[in-house]
């Protein structure tokens, strides 16, 4: 797979896939906010740094959100269910994958050769030293998240991910009238996850 670095700034890229923005081109504050959100996500910018930057932009007269939470449209309520003895949130593999691919500019999509290679990682992570609560994310950028005070009681928390991947591997993801075949490269588990998942 070819590698293509890109930075999404109103879908104008800087890096190896380039198309410059002229000095005469002006962006409205809505586009500025969207571009800042894309930048913050791409470079994992801390929320306090985003808050400070937004404050500076507001002082300069830009009408942008006041906080990182508003800028990134952070969800305030997440629907949870019970699986494997834990609280469980599923984010839908196909939907998240399609959302990611749709943010990639057309000229950079060529780097993917109509093929999306995915790696999965499943690991148990303790949250607090003073508590037995742990989080079990299924990661591909996060696909699902299960949280409980014990290890999973069974493998039910993997069901949604497995079903989605079976479907994705047998079909394709459609983005802007192009088909992308999905391939699973490997699955990585830490020792507790391997023990739990058999």
Domain locations along the chain: 8-71, 81-197
Residue that wins the pLDDT comparison between 189 and 158: 158
Of 1-5, 37-41, 42-46, 61-65, the poorest mean pLDDT is in 1-5
SS3 category, 54: helix
Q: What is the pLDDT of residue 6?
A: 39
In which residue are the tokens 């409205």 written?
A: 28
Contact between 193 and 136 (Cβ < 8 Å): yes
Q: What is the pLDDT of residue 20?
A: 43
Q: What is the pLDDT of residue 142?
A: 61
Phi, psi of 94 (to 5 degrees): -60, -45
Q: What is the pLDDT of residue 48?
A: 93
Q: What is the pLDDT of residue 19?
A: 41
What stretches of the chain adopt beta strand conformation (E)? 8-9, 12-13, 81-83, 86-90, 115-122, 125-126, 134-139, 142-148, 172-175, 178-189
Burial class (CB in 10 A: 0-12, 13-18, 19+), 198: exposed
Q: What is the pLDDT of residue 9?
A: 36
pLDDT digits (tens, 9 = 90+) for 11-37: 333 334 444 444 434 567 788 888 898
Q: What is the pLDDT of residue 182?
A: 87
In which residue are the tokens 């830009």 written?
A: 62
pLDDT over 50 at 113, yes or no: yes
pLDDT over 90 at 173, yes or no: no
pLDDT digits (tens, 9 = 90+) for 46-104: 999 999 999 999 999 999 999 998 888 776 667 788 888 888 888 888 887 877 777 77
């Amino acid at each position: 797979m070819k590698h293509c670095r890109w930075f999404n700034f109103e879908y104008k890229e800087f890096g190896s896939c380039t198309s410059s923005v002229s000095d005469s081109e002006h962006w409205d504050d809505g586009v500025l906010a969207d571009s800042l959100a894309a930048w913050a996500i791409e470079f994992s910018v801390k929320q306090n740094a985003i808050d400070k930057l937004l404050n500076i932009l507001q002082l300069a007269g830009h009408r942008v959100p006041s906080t990182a939470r508003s800028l990134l449209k952070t969800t305030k309520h997440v629907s949870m269910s019970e699986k494997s003895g834990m609280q469980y949130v599923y984010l839908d593999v196909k939907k998240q994958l399609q959302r990611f691919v749709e943010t990639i500019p057309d000229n950079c999509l060529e780097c993917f050769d109509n093929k999306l290679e995915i790696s999965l990682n499943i690991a148990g992570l303790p949250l607090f030293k003073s508590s037995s609560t742990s989080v079990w994310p299924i990661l591909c950028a996060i696909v699902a998240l299960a949280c409980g005070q014990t290890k999973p009681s069974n493998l039910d928390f993997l069901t949604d991910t497995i079903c989605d991947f079976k479907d994705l591997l047998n079909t394709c993801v459609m983005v802007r009238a192009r088909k992308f075949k999905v391939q699973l490269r490997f699955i990585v588990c830490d020792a507790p996850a391997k023990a739990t998942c058999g």
